[in-house]
Amino acid sequence: GAVEAWLLEVESTMRTSLKKILAATIAGIKGAKREKWVNDYPGQLLITAGQTQWTGECEKGLIECEKGNKSAMRQVKKKQVSMLNKYSEMVRGALSKLNRNKVVSIITIEVHARDVIDKMIKGGTASLTEFEWMSQLRFYW
């Protein structure tokens, strides 16, 4: 009936809105200061954008490994640790309660991402087709 049609329209509009905001969040991760980025976007979309970036960085690193660059994944880890350090500095600074919660959530996810990179390095993962990488939850946009 009419209620179901209205709810379907609400759902469709919600999906369209989230798609636009996620695209802006992903675009915003490149170039913007982390403080502004965290302040400007919703927490769940920040995490999704971060995971999308992590997937891309890991895949670039693994492709470089396939080409013979044995230190590529170590470079990816170095970037990840640098980003985590920026978030750590943020969380120690003056933040609103909402932004502090966002940063703590991001740190939790990004620490896990760093640990996955570390596990791949220690396991010698050097290809996009290896099980250690294939078994990871990956985000694409």
pLDDT in tens, the chain (141 residues): 999 999 999 999 999 999 999 999 999 998 778 889 999 999 999 999 999 999 999 999 999 999 999 999 999 999 999 999 999 999 999 999 999 999 999 999 999 999 999 999 999 999 999 999 999 999 999
**110-119 long-range Cβ contacts below 8 angstroms, 24+ apart:** 110/50, 110/54, 110/80, 110/83, 110/84, 111/84, 113/50, 113/51, 113/54, 113/80, 114/77, 114/80, 114/81, 114/84, 116/58, 117/58, 117/73, 117/76, 117/77, 117/80, 118/77
